[in-house]
Structure 1
Amino acid sequence: MSWSIEFLPLVSWPILGGLAAIGALLLLLLLWRSRRGALLRGTAYALLLLALANPHFKKEEREPLNDVVAVVVDDSQSQAVAGRTTRTAELQQELEKRLRELPNLDLRVIHSSSAADNPDRDGSFLFTDLAKGLADTPPERLAGVVMLTDGQVHDVPKTAAELNIDAPIHAIVPGKKNEFDRRLKLLAAPRFGLVGESQTVELQVEETGGRPAKPIALTIKRQGEDPLTETVTPGEKVSIPVMIDHAGANIVEIAAEVDPEELTGLNNRTVLTIEGVRENLRVLLVSGEPYAGERTWRNMLKSDASVDLVHFTILRPPEKQDGTPINQLSLIAFPTRELFQEKLEEFDLIIFDRYQRRGVLPLAYLDNVSRYVLRGGAVLVAAGEDYASPLSLFRTPLAYVLPAEPTGRVINEPFKPKPTDLGERHPVTRDLPGGGEKPRWGSWFRNVEATPNDAEIVMEGAEGNPLLVLAERGEGRVALLLSDQAWLWARGYEGGGPYTGLLRRLAHWLMKEPELEEEQLHASSRGQTITIERQTIKDEVEPVSLSGPTGDTRSVTLKESEPGVWRAQVNVSEQGIYQVSAGELASVVTVGNANTRELAAVTASDEALKPVLDETGGGSYWLGRKDGEADEMPRIVMLGSSKMMHGDDWLGLHRRDAYRVTGASLYPLFNGYVALALLLGLMALAWYREGR
């Protein structure tokens, strides 16, 4: 219960002020002229103004309100190192126990994470979450704020006034001063590089803790290769050349030597992906003779801006003797030595279109092509009747790499090309437009019968015979199309078919373009969701391993979403680089910021918080473990208003004495007959005084 005086003026306060000013001037004039009764007149006028102010005696019924203390728990990524998560949980439990023992105090626990509820957040935003958590708490009830944090906070206000908090802020740090840690910092990393060329990665090893810098080992590991080791000095910029061996993702892992005394080795390692791109794909197309489908290959390859095409058609084979003088021929001589010996390795793909052995290419040059495949080259043979004849390419040294042996039979009857069971999953023939169990494609009329040898049959033709056969030989690849009538699809016969898509996929598979690899692992992110995609020709796939930026690893089971493609989606809470692996396959994906501030600095510090703590009267307490023992939790003391709210072994909270009014009564003090009697009495006295 509380008593007080409250005014309920009958006129506005500005009018009362104006009347009071006029009365004061008149009273001064009367006093200056020494008029009798001037004080009595002034008193009567003051009582009149008091009556207009209408004073009341107010009685309030009050209900005391508990003070509120906020405990902000830092659940960011940097808290996950050096056992801080466990230590923070212990401190939180002890702190909550002590606060609940204090009378008239309500506890508000606020958890602040790096990015669980905000994909765009990069860092620890304790003050932002504090403001949200106290949005429904009046400032006059707040007794104080206690933060359990390593001090790596990224939204500290410049002044405490920006927080609209009139209470002490304290920090309990679950760490030790001058902690030692080593971090690998990327200064420059290319995103793309030309295949066959080297790219430079610039980085620096940083150390905290005041120790003198000593040379350490830096390990560079590329997928599928033995690791390389270099010696570097912390603090110095290091340039590392990285060779781009193949198109697509080139994954490079760089790791600095882990010191036994440092906080964590998580930030000693980085994984980056450099996309390899080919400057130009050089293709050599050799047509054995002119025919209706000759230009199909040429037009398809010329339509691809990334392909440099060299095309030769053998118009006049050596056995042709028509008596035409040599000086009257306009044909271009076939540069066999230049193409098949001197510059053979410069081509990414060689296509033999209806080519047969007719003495144009010596067998030694065809042997060069066979070795070219084994060393990583690619050959495609589009065969017609020539492949079944005695002059077939299979009767040359090229047979060593060809994937099927002709039987000598050619099937000349209409059939519709169809993917095999393997072809339904293979990236070359999977999901071709118009495909399915009953493809809506036009017919072909010729299929060379052949027996596959250690090869994959992805399309079948007449009588279920192989139509498209793929194989890997040594480090290279070879494909055999056992028909020369793909041009019928290009002409739209019986509705045509996906000739452009099929031939382009076939050429790019031969040249090892990454999107057409049979076994591929890819990961992408959107917000806090990672999508993992596995491309395979297997019937079943094993679970993949997903490693997070703080070292946690989980197993993810994929489900088949379409033939040959398995997918899964995983929700994550941390920002940074995630690595997906399945056997020898690996992929890297970034969620949020790859170089997140949470792992940029993990040593405990109170420097960022100190200005706000000092301004509010709070303090910082280092409660990390020392030699197996934990520092003692400071005492909690409730104080009135004070500029200093902390000591070496105690932290203070502001006693607010807040309340809620449950009822109020008003009693008028100066109205009615009493006020009228006083006014009339004073006026009578004034007249009497003036009349004497």
Structure 2
Amino acid sequence: MDWSLSFSPMIDDRLLAGLAVAVAVVALVGLFRRTPGAWLRALAGGLLLLALAVPSLRQEDRETVPAVVTIVTDRSASQGFGEREGQTDAAVAGLRERIERLGGFEVREVAADSAGTDGTHLFGVLEQALADVPEGRVGGTVLVTDGQVHDIPADAAELGFNAPVHVLVTGHEQESDRRVVLNSTPRFGIVGEEKPITFHVEDVGPAAPEPGPGTRVEVQIRRDGELLRTMNVTPGDNVTVPVEIAHGGKNLIEIEAAPLEGELTDQNNRGVISVEGIRDTLRVLLVSGSPHAGERTWRNILKSDASVDLVHFTILRPPEKQDGTPISELSLIAFPTRELFSEKIDQFDLIIFDRYQSRGVLPILYYDNIARYVEDGGAVLVASGPEYAENVSLFRTPLASVLPAQPSGRVVEEPYRAALSIEGQRHPITRDLVPAGATVGDWSEWFRLVEANPAGETRTLMTGAEEMPLLVTARQGEGRIALMLSDHAWLWARGFEGGGPYVPLLRRLSHWLMKETDLEEEALRAYQEGDRLVIERQTMEESVPEATLTRPSDIEETLEMTQAEPGRWRVAVEAEQQGLYRVVQGDLRTVASVGPANPKEFAEVLSTQEKLSPLAEQTGGGVYRLAEDPGDTPSLPRILPVRAGNSASGSDWMGLRRSEDSILHGVHTLPVMSGILGLLLLLAALAGTWFREGR
């Protein structure tokens, strides 16, 4: 309970002040002249003024509010190294017990992990914990952490409260670690070209070896999980290595250093670079044997693709059509067979023969060049018509050694709807043309089909009339070849009877031939989807083996995949950790980066007192290490209550500020100069004055 004196004047304050001055002057004059009864007059005047001021005693019933002490616990990934987690648990339990024993404090414990953030963020969690606490009630904050915090305010004023911040540091001073530091990394690269990557290996800590020419570290460089090279480097020296960008999209390049004996963790021994592969212009040669209704379909699709550089020739005047007109008087451009099929054939990514006939325009020798071009990694697409079944067929040339189907000589002229084969339902080229489980889409009919018999290791993706092959693909040597056994795809392009999916079909077919990675028949992929890691297998087989997943913490687990649709199997797992996930399934392997490629959480892992010391000093707090050596029992400093303005830390103690806020439950007042008591005092003073003057 608190007592105080309050006034409620009956007259204006200025008038009351004037009367007080008048009474004081009269009293001083009387006392100076030694007038009899002067002090009694002064007393009477003072009592009169006091009565006019209406004084009263005020009693307040207050309850002191406990101060709020926040314990912020670092539960980030780096706190799992060594003995830190056990030290943290012991320190938090000891803090709570000691603070509650003091009394007058409310303890709030909050935890901060690194999930969903790049690094350890303690002060954002602290701000949320104190959002409903007035500044006067904040008694202090205790951070239990390894000291590697990534959201430290630049100034104590940014905290929003005036109370000490203390830090209890886990770990010990004898820690050592090795890490890979990336100095210069590219973000983009042209597919097929090399990009330089600069890095160095850094050893830190008391137990780390002294850097020098005699110290060598083995470093492995991988791309998408595939080992590219192994090299030895000197710690501290910058090393530049060229790495080829193998494909379009993300190329994950890893630089991994051998572990250091006794190091805290090897999770930062690996640096990851994600380089976006950009395809240079794809050069496509389109040779049309003669003008026909579907010729422009191929040209329009290829020209609409900004990544394709198209060279198109149409044979308008075959050798058998001789009318005696001199070549010099023709406006036609001569077909540059030698330049295209001998000198520059390897510069093309794809060659398309659209209803081409072997009629002497292309010498027989050049068919050998085209077959060699396919074997060496090139791509050929034959979009055939009735000529493929005749004596002028390309199958009657040396190109037959790589063609996937042999014509029987029969051409079927009847309406039919193209359908997907079992292989076609699984293949990335054709799978998405129809709903899952269906074989025929809602598209228009075709009216011509060349009968042919697939030979060798081929895949029939689409069938036509009498279930005969319509689209056949094959891998020949290092290259690829495809055969379309009808020239009626243009009906879909013209919208006949509603048309059909000619654009995705022909575009995917072209890009598969040019080895687009997203269209591979056998592929293993992994990618992040929300807080999960999705592992997907593309296959032409009826079943897939189990996959082995290695998490960033090097924990392995075996996963069984389920079929999501024909040709595509999938499994999803929780991805709590940030970093690189490795997946192996049979001969296939892939990697996926969850969160930042190189998380701040693992960039520097040695426990430190230096980063938080400036902030603790500004707030009057202290920084204390829980254990000096490995195996030591965590030791807490003494905890003392302090008042605002007093020192809040020492070498072996830390202070928490008492709250100055309180809750007012009630107020009682007692008038001093009112009622009988006030009247008697005033009458006694007046009577004394009269009595003194009457003597």
Shift in Å at residue 669 of structure 1?
A: 3.4
Q: Does 2:503 align with 1:503?
A: no
Q: Aligned ranges for residues 180-199 of structure 1 at < 5 Å?
A: 180-199=176-195
Distance 1:147 1:51, change over 3 A: farther
Q: Residue 262 of structure 2: SS of its match in structure 1?
A: coil
Q: Residue 432 of structure 2: SS of its match in structure 1?
A: coil
Shift in Å at residue 291 of structure 1?
A: 2.6
Distance 1:224 1:364, change over 3 A: farther
Q: Does 2:342 align with 1:341?
A: yes
Between the aligned partners of 1:376 and 1:281, the Cα distance in structure 2 is 14
8 Å CA contact 2:418, 2:440 repeated in 1? no
TM-score by length of 2: 0.86
What is the match of residue 448 of structure 1? Answer: 450
Distance 1:90 1:373, change over 3 A: farther
What is the match of residue 16 of structure 2? Answer: 19
8 Å CA contact 1:388, 1:408 repeated in 2? yes
Shift in Å at residue 469 of structure 1?
A: 1.0
Between the aligned partners of 1:586 and 1:188, the Cα distance in structure 2 is 24
Give deviations 1:223-281, integer Å, cap 9, x for gaps: 36443234444444433222123333322111233212332221221222222222211
Q: Aligned ranges for residues 519-538 of structure 1 at < 5 Å?
A: 519-522=522-525, 525=528, 528=531, 534-538=537-541
Between the aligned partners of 2:576 and 2:10, the Cα distance in structure 1 is 63
What is the match of residue 470 of structure 1? Answer: 473
What is the match of residue 110 of structure 2? Answer: 110
Deviates more, 1:550-559 or 1:371-380: 550-559
Shift in Å at residue 359 of structure 1?
A: 3.1
What is the match of residue 590 of structure 2? Answer: 586
8 Å CA contact 1:577, 1:589 repeated in 2? yes
Distance 1:586 1:687, change over 3 A: farther
Shift in Å at residue 415 of structure 1?
A: 0.7
Deviates more, 1:448-457 or 1:185-194: 185-194
Distance 1:582 1:503, change over 3 A: same
What is the match of residue 678 of structure 1? Answer: 681
Distance 1:108 1:318, change over 3 A: same
Q: Does 2:128 align with 1:132?
A: yes
Report the aligned-residue RMSD. 3.6
What is the match of residue 211 of structure 2? Answer: 213
Q: Residue 515 of structure 1: SS of its match in structure 2?
A: helix
Distance 1:160 1:508, change over 3 A: closer
What is the match of residue 460 of structure 1? Answer: 463
Amino acid corresponding to residue 151 of structure 2 in structure 1:
D
Distance 1:7 1:398, change over 3 A: same
Q: Aligned ranges for residues 596-615 of structure 1 at < 5 Å?
A: 596-615=599-618
Q: Residue 123 of structure 1: SS of its match in structure 2?
A: coil
Between the aligned partners of 2:52 and 2:175, the Cα distance in structure 1 is 72
Between the aligned partners of 1:70 and 1:335, the Cα distance in structure 2 is 82
8 Å CA contact 2:70, 2:109 repeated in 1? yes
Shift in Å at residue 75 of structure 1?
A: 1.1
Between the aligned partners of 1:533 and 1:55, the Cα distance in structure 2 is 86
Distance 1:55 1:607, change over 3 A: farther
Deviates more, 1:236-245 or 1:466-475: 236-245
Shift in Å at residue 376 of structure 1?
A: 1.4
Q: Aligned ranges for residues 258-277 of structure 1 at < 5 Å?
A: 258-277=259-278
Shift in Å at residue 351 of structure 1?
A: 1.0
Amino acid corresponding to residue 24 of structure 2 in structure 1:
L
Q: Aligned ranges for residues 505-654 of structure 1 at < 5 Å?
A: 505-522=508-525, 525=528, 528=531, 534-541=537-544, 560-566=563-569, 572-574=575-577, 582=585, 584-591=588-595, 593-624=596-627, 626-637=629-640, 643-654=646-657
Give deviations 1:43-82, integer Å, cap 9, x for gaps: 4454445445544445566667666543221112332333
Distance 1:413 1:636, change over 3 A: same
| Match 1:153 to one of 149, 152, 167 | 149
What is the match of residue 70 of structure 2? Answer: 70
Q: Residue 297 of structure 1: SS of its match in structure 2?
A: helix
Give deviations 1:555-598, integer Å, cap 9, x for gaps: 6666555554555665645555656665524243452x444432
Identical residues among aligned pairs (%): 49
What is the match of residue 388 of structure 2? Answer: 387
8 Å CA contact 1:7, 1:56 repeated in 2? yes
Deviates more, 1:126-135 or 1:321-330: 321-330
Q: Aligned ranges for residues 138-537 of structure 1 at < 5 Å?
A: 143-158=139-154, 160=156, 162-163=158-159, 165=161, 167-177=163-173, 179-209=175-205, 212-214=210-212, 215-223=216-224, 225-432=226-433, 436-452=438-454, 453-522=456-525, 525=528, 528=531, 534-537=537-540
Structure 1 unaligned runs (5+)?
none
Shift in Å at residue 484 of structure 1?
A: 1.6
Distance 1:671 1:479, change over 3 A: same
Q: Residue 629 of structure 1: SS of its match in structure 2?
A: coil
Shift in Å at residue 505 of structure 1?
A: 1.5
Amino acid corresponding to residue 426 of structure 1 in structure 2:
H
Q: Residue 298 of structure 2: SS of its match in structure 1?
A: helix
Amino acid corresponding to residue 180 of structure 1 in structure 2:
S
Distance 1:577 1:362, change over 3 A: same
8 Å CA contact 1:283, 1:349 repeated in 2? yes
What is the match of residue 89 of structure 1? Answer: 89
Between the aligned partners of 1:356 and 1:656, the Cα distance in structure 2 is 96
What is the match of residue 80 of structure 1? Answer: 80
Between the aligned partners of 1:590 and 1:690, the Cα distance in structure 2 is 102
Shift in Å at residue 506 of structure 1?
A: 1.0
What is the match of residue 7 of structure 1? Answer: 6
Between the aligned partners of 1:585 and 1:49, the Cα distance in structure 2 is 98
Aligned residue-pair number: 684
Between the aligned partners of 1:235 and 1:25, the Cα distance in structure 2 is 90
Distance 1:173 1:394, change over 3 A: same
Between the aligned partners of 1:547 and 1:662, the Cα distance in structure 2 is 62
Distance 1:582 1:46, change over 3 A: farther
Shift in Å at residue 325 of structure 1?
A: 4.4
Q: Residue 125 of structure 2: SS of its match in structure 1?
A: helix
Shift in Å at residue 286 of structure 1?
A: 1.9
Structure 2 unaligned runs (5+)?
none
Distance 1:302 1:134, change over 3 A: closer
8 Å CA contact 1:403, 1:479 repeated in 2? yes
8 Å CA contact 1:27, 1:39 repeated in 2? no
Distance 1:306 1:68, change over 3 A: closer
Between the aligned partners of 2:693 and 2:580, the Cα distance in structure 1 is 98
Shift in Å at residue 604 of structure 1?
A: 1.1
Amino acid corresponding to residue 174 of structure 1 in structure 2:
T
Shift in Å at residue 664 of structure 1?
A: 5.5
Distance 1:75 1:228, change over 3 A: same
Shift in Å at residue 603 of structure 1?
A: 1.7
Deviates more, 1:240-249 or 1:549-558: 549-558
Between the aligned partners of 2:309 and 2:661, the Cα distance in structure 1 is 82
Distance 1:401 1:648, change over 3 A: same
TM-score by length of 1: 0.86
Between the aligned partners of 2:22 and 2:510, the Cα distance in structure 1 is 106
8 Å CA contact 1:370, 1:400 repeated in 2? yes
Q: Residue 424 of structure 1: SS of its match in structure 2?
A: helix
Distance 1:363 1:32, change over 3 A: farther
